[in-house]
Amino acid sequence: MTSKRLIRYFVMAILMQLTAAIFVHSTENHSSTSAPVKIFYGLNESHSTSWAQAADNGTIGITYFRHDETDKPEGSLIYKTIKPDMAENEEIVSSGRRLENSVLLFDSISQPHIFAASSNNSDQIIVHFFKDSGLWQNDTIVHFYNEGGKFIYELSAESGPDGSFHLLVLKTRSNPDSDDYYLAFLDAYLYNLSNSSGSWQKELVHNYDTIWTLDEYSKALCRQDIAVDKNGCVHIVFGEQIDGLTASSIDRLQYASNKSGSWEMETAVQGPSSERTSAGWYPSLCLDDLNQPYISCAYIKRFNAGSARSAELRLYSRGTNSSWNYEVIADKDDGYYGGDGRRYTGALTHLVFDQNNDPHIIFSDIASSHAGNNYFNLGNIRHAVKKQSSWQMETIFRQPLPSAFYNAVEMYGMCLLIHEDTDRIHIIGQQLEINSENDYSCALVHRTISCSTNISQNRSLFDNYILRQNYPNPFNSKTAISYQLAAISHVDLSIYNNLGKKVQTLISKNQPAGNYTAEWDAAGFAGGVYFCRLKTGKRILTKKMVYVR
């Protein structure tokens, strides 16, 4: 990869002098002016972990793009579900061109909401797909009209405690799949979109140089993530390139939050000034039960010429005075490697805390090689969980060793899903199989881990969290809602209408283990279907209620 980086620096220097003359913007999602390197397209191109989610009812949802075999840019946006009994189903949401950049969220009544980005030379939009009476409908939630650049490159999503939706949108000055490939990272804009106020609002978070487009190096690379805490405050991380047009450039990972009412930023991951590093690649941000931010990522050390000499999986936690501490989770592969040795791992991370506040991380190994054809492939699915201060690791999906950059089977993206009311952890991945530069395919991978033992730990005399059916039901005016807590928990007991909008909060406080009953007086509300939602930490239970006036 040394030669590739030297070529990159040389090409960048030339392009900087010629940009005014040769700069050509993409006129559609797939540029008519090709990139100088091969661009691979996966089933989902959001560059996030938001394309697969677990609903409150235990359903696993996936959004992806099924390419037309004869015309790759054309195809169908698919919504795939996996039920708790493992039954699978697929629906066509929409058809069109380059709909790979999509994310999925579920509302409080487990209805799917898909957000898909589309870009052209005059406008960049995000379309919201949702179901109404069982049929897919859509509306456009934002028009950028070239504000912040002409391409929506990355998209991440998270739900708020009030049922609102939050989108993190990375815009670049052009489509990297064009002759602007080497310079598209410059002058990027990061936006937060939210409907928490009742309508969609767009807010600029930061203007900066994002991490290079690196398809000739790592075919899949995520640069950002978003999390929303119990108070509705938004936390984000994003990768930033410093001195990206020089041979001494470095990467760092920035953390930002709007807890104070405005965006405040700090550096979470950065290497020492004496060392070449790519700090914070493949980041995943998650909040624990106390709203404390944690980041899993790869930390890559480099030789002065730019080639990677090692890569390790790290977990960062935020301490006092905005300081960030880390522990190394893994620094060697488990069977997927290249000619440079066995010191490369930590790619495509996804961090999730379970109901016991134990962190889980999925990640891939890295095959790095400078022998023959240089390559940097990402393979295997590994799972790490911290129990009683000790990390336990296993490889749950293995792939064959790559023999070249264009002759490999590797991972292209992964999502970790933990639902508290089942005994399974789900991992959804994209597997990229490359036979040659122009012959490749991508398929979904689904693996599960049994976690019965983990779930049974730390149980109290009240051996489960239960939301009982309200009584009476149907009811007129007043109804009783009973629930059980297995341990001391922050309880949010709220009522939602059939559109998924919160209409009243009944309980919002800490309560010890035990049985409780709350009463809802619906006088003043319209008759119809309502949903009672019990949220304790990351655990959410829902019951349907019918109010008859």
* 3-state DSSP assignment of residue 175: coil
Rounded CA separation 398/337 (Å): 12
Q: CB of 78 within 8 A of CB of 443?
A: no
For 549, counting Cβ atoms within 10 Å of its Cβ (0-12 exposed, 13-18 middle, 19+ buried), the class is exposed
Rounded CA separation 450/443 (Å): 23
Query: CA nearest 200: which of 157, 241, 258?
Result: 157
Higher pLDDT among residues 372 and 18, named by residue? 372
Q: Over 50: is that where the pLDDT of 31 sits?
A: no
Rounded CA separation 74/222 (Å): 24
Give me the residues paired with residue 395 across strands.
Answer: 382
Phi, psi (rounded to 5 degrees) for 354: -90, -175
- For residue 85, the tally of other CB atoms under 10 A from its CB is 6
Rounded CA separation 393/380 (Å): 13
pLDDT of residue 117: 97
CA dihedral over 307, 312, 318, 320, signed as positive or negative: negative
**Correct CATH for 466-547 of 3.30.70.100, 2.60.40.1930, 3.40.50.970, 1.10.569.10:** 2.60.40.1930
pLDDT band, very low/low/confident/very high, at 71 (cuts 50, 70, 90): low
At 117-139, the pLDDT tens digits run 999 999 999 999 999 989 999 99
The full 3-state SS of 250-306, as one line of letters, equals EEEEEEEECCCCCCEEEEEECCCCCCEEEEEEEEEEEECCCCCEEEEEEEEEECCCC
Q: Over 60: is that where the pLDDT of 25 sits?
A: no
- In this structure, the strands spanning 201-208 and 308-318 are unpaired
> Average pLDDT, stretch 381-392?
94
Q: Using a cut of 0.75, tell me whether the model's pTM lies above it.
A: yes
Q: Over 90: is that where the pLDDT of 27 sits?
A: no
pLDDT band, very low/low/confident/very high, at 270 (cuts 50, 70, 90): very high
User: Comparing 111-115, 253-257, 337-341, which segment has the lowest mean pLDDT?
Assistant: 337-341
Mean pLDDT (the chain, rounded): 87
At 38-64, the pLDDT tens digits run 888 899 999 999 999 999 889 999 999
Read out DSSP for 21-68?
Answer: HH----SSSS-SS--SS-----S--S-SS-SEEE-TTS-EEEEEEEE-
pLDDT band, very low/low/confident/very high, at 189 (cuts 50, 70, 90): very high
pLDDT of residue 107: 93
> Average pLDDT, stretch 431-450?
89
Rounded CA separation 525/49 (Å): 38
pLDDT of residue 15: 42
Q: What percent of the chain has pLDDT over 70?
A: 89
Read out DSSP for 367-436?
Answer: EEE-SSS-EEEEEEEEEEEEETTEEEEEEEE--PPPSBTTBEEEEEEEEEEE-TTSSEEEEEEEEEEEEE
> Average pLDDT, stretch 359-364?
97
At 478-521, the pLDDT tens digits run 998 988 887 778 899 999 998 889 999 999 988 877 778 899 99
Q: Over 70: is that where the pLDDT of 452 sits?
A: no
Please work out, in degrees rounded to the nearest 5, the angle formed at the alpha carbon of residue 279 by the alpha carbons of 276 and 281: 130
At 463-486, the pLDDT tens digits run 578 888 888 999 998 998 988 887
Q: Over 70: is that where the pLDDT of 23 sits?
A: no
Residue type, 471: Y
Q: Which CATH superfamily is domain 2-454 in?
A: YVTN repeat-like/Quinoprotein amine dehydrogenase (2.130.10.10)
Q: Is the peptide bond before 472 cis (omega within 30 degrees of 0)?
A: yes
At 152-186, the pLDDT tens digits run 999 999 999 999 999 999 999 998 888 888 899 99
Q: Over 60: is that where the pLDDT of 150 sits?
A: yes
User: Comparing 1-10, 133-142, 144-153, which segment has the lowest mean pLDDT?
Assistant: 1-10
Give me the residues paired with residue 78 across strands.
Answer: 64, 92
What the block records as the tokens of 114 is 């898909």
Q: What percent of the chain has pLDDT over 90?
A: 62
Rounded CA separation 435/40 (Å): 12
**Strands laid side by side in the 188-194 sheet:** 151-159, 165-172, 188-194, 201-208
Q: Over 90: is that where the pLDDT of 375 sits?
A: no
Query: CA nearest 444: which of 458, 455, 460, 428?
Result: 428
> Average pLDDT, stretch 384-394?
93
Q: Over 70: is that where the pLDDT of 17 sits?
A: no
Residue recorded with tokens 């999502």: 415
Q: Over 70: is that where the pLDDT of 11 sits?
A: no
At 195-237, the pLDDT tens digits run 999 999 999 999 999 998 776 778 888 999 999 999 999 999 9
For 497, residues 6+ apart whose C-beta sits below 8 A from its C-beta are 503, 528, 529, 530, 531
pLDDT band, very low/low/confident/very high, at 19 (cuts 50, 70, 90): very low
User: Comparing 10-19, 276-285, 347-356, which segment has the lowest mean pLDDT?
Assistant: 10-19
- Domain extent listing, the chain: 2-454, 466-547
Rounded CA separation 403/405 (Å): 7
Rounded CA separation 119/31 (Å): 11
pLDDT of residue 70: 63
For 163, residues 6+ apart whose C-beta sits below 8 A from its C-beta are 107, 108, 496, 500, 501, 502
> Average pLDDT, stretch 72-90?
91
Q: Over 80: is that where the pLDDT of 265 sits?
A: yes
- For residue 274, the tally of other CB atoms under 10 A from its CB is 5
